[in-house]
Amino acid sequence: METDSLYLLLQFPKGVSPPVEQELLLQGEKKKFLPPTSREDPKFEELQKTLMEWINAELLPEHIVVRSLEEDMFDGLILHHLFQKLAGAKLDVEEIALTAVSQRRKLEAVLEAANRSLKGDEQPLKWSVDDIFGKDLLATLHLLVALAKRFRPNLPLPSNVQVEVITLESTKNGLKSEKSVEQLTECSTDKDQPSRDPFDELFQLHPEKVKVVKEAIVTFINQKMEHLGLSVQDLDTQLADGVILLLLIGQLEGFFLHLKEFYLTPSSPAEMLHNVSLALELLKDEGLLDYPVSPEDIVNKDSKSTLRILYSLFRKHKLKDTADRVPRGPSH
């Protein structure tokens, strides 16, 4: 561990003052800072991107969009909505907090509830009200990673994300700086990694064959939906609202879906998400989902996720149709 204060100065571009000049440290006080080299680390950037996409997918029905974890999470508003969605609990806090005092009070209440839910999972806690309210990116990331591990353990966070941090301490002899490495996500083993399904390999190794697979599945769907007067040309866009998907599952699996159970003409992302979530529940109940699929991915027209769920139906019913057409020899 280094204690050379010159190291700190070398980490900041020419013309940019070290953060200590912008924030007064009291004697004995310590504060962590991320040098530019750490902020620009590809894995560090990937972790932020993954967490932002996850939060935006979770809060899609509420039309909440996060663009910066550093700037958008500090006042407790998004954390409030995110925690309620994840924990399925209603927090008794004010919905809109406009002043710094009310924002901090709200954040404190939200973190208190979150910390209770994480008790035993994350010890000691690597964040505080002061850290989050002060827009401490490291603390914010530690909190979000802990929430993801607790409530969405299948979320594919990049593994072994670690960054170099600089800790500044104000002493009676002046400013002291130390360099250390902070671990944000765990090292994963092959055992921890979810197994790759055929579509992972198809999109990565044989992207030219994706079109062929799509055409086969489109033909299959249109054969099954023909008598309903429905047809599909574009899987990604036409399946995104869940309507055709639900009707297809009903046809193939023999379900009668009452019109009160889903939105036949969804007019909002929330209604689309309801339809797709219902479809995935039906597939899961029938044992057809071998790999986890996020309903938000279908609504957002993710091609791989859409193909993955359609192939589960194609594989079962296309093969069944083929087997039924194979002539059987005479019985003895």
Distances from the Cα of 86 to the Cαs of 78, 117, 194, 256, in angstroms?
12, 11, 22, 31
Matching CATH topology for 5-183 and 198-323?
yes
Q: Is 80 exceeded by the pLDDT of residue 11? A: no
**Whether the Cβ atoms of residue 164 and residue 180 lie closer than 8 Å to each other:** yes
pLDDT band at 121 (very low <50, low <70, confident <90, very high): low
Whether this prediction's pTM lies above 0.85 is answered by no
pLDDT at residue 320, rounded to an integer = 54
* Average pLDDT of the segment spanning 4-30: 51
For residue range 37-75, list pLDDT tens digits in order. 888 888 899 999 999 988 988 888 788 888 899 898 888
Q: Write down the pLDDT at residue 119.
A: 78
**Which of 27-41, 74-88, 138-152, 181-195 is predicted least confidently?**
181-195
DSSP state letter for 176 = E
In angstroms, rounded to a whole number, what is the distance separating the alpha carbons of residues 54 and 44?
Answer: 16
Query: If DSSP codes are grouped into helix, strand and coil, which group holds residue 24?
Result: coil
* pLDDT tens column, 306-332: 888 888 888 888 755 544 443 444 444
Check residue 229 and give its pLDDT. Answer: 87
- Of 3.40.630.30, 3.30.70.920, 1.10.418.10, 3.40.190.10, the CATH number of 5-183 is 1.10.418.10
Q: 151-177: per-residue pLDDT in tens?
A: 888 788 888 898 888 888 888 877 788
Domain boundaries, the chain: 5-183, 198-323
> How many angstroms from the chain centroid is the CA of residue 167?
30
Radius of gyration of the chain (CA): 26
User: Homologous superfamily of 198-323 in CATH?
Assistant: Calponin-like domain (1.10.418.10)
Whether residue 259 has pLDDT greater than 70? yes
Using CB atoms within 10 A of its CB, is residue 80 exposed (0-12), middle (13-18) or buried (19+)?
buried
